[in-house]
Structure 1
């Protein structure tokens, strides 16, 4: 029985319930059914050797949006910590630096004309 089949069993139980909150939750699961099932599917398997005992263990990777959510959170934190940026280039450079430090090249800012 795979994740989709197990989720269908849970949905059947939720739909038979007399509790309206569980019925509403069941509808939410129906709306997000494909995404929930995808989160259980293994997209990559690798074997990692444990440094302490030298034993190999299996590491399964699943498809999630956690990396994107983490990036969004970091951008919001940068913006909030600075109390807003007025210079777009500085904000963009700060975000690029924080999200990908090894790939970021520091370049001098262009001087802006102040009415000269």
Structure 2
């Protein structure tokens, strides 16, 4: 790789990373599955937690998460 031979530390690091992860990077183009839904769900929960300034009761927090996701699945079904 030209980046590895450039002598610039950041380019060399980037080139080495690309070589180390090349198998996984190339496999990502063949596999249609991603963890996008899981990442989105985690983000929604984190935003809820941040906006609520912490729930005192975990049961209420859990119920709010379940309620939030039950409404989002119904929107997609229509």
Corresponding residue of 1:88: 58
User: Is structure 2 residue 12 aligned with structure 1 residue 28?
Assistant: no
Shift of the alpha carbon at 1:31? 4.1
TM value normalised by structure 2: 0.71
Q: Deviations over 1:11-31 (max 9, x none)?
A: x23222222111111233244
- For 2:21 and 2:69, the matched residues in 1 are separated by 29
Stretches of structure 1 that go unaligned for 5 or more consecutive residues are 1-11, 44-61, 104-116
Which structure is higher in strand share?
1
Larger Rg: 1 or 2? 1
Q: Deviations over 1:34-84 (max 9, x none)?
A: 43223211x4xxxxxxxxxxxxxxxxxx33222221111111001001001
- For 1:40 and 1:17, the matched residues in 2 are separated by 28
TM value normalised by structure 1: 0.52
Corresponding residue of 2:28: 39
Aligned residue pair count: 73
Which structure is higher in helix share?
2
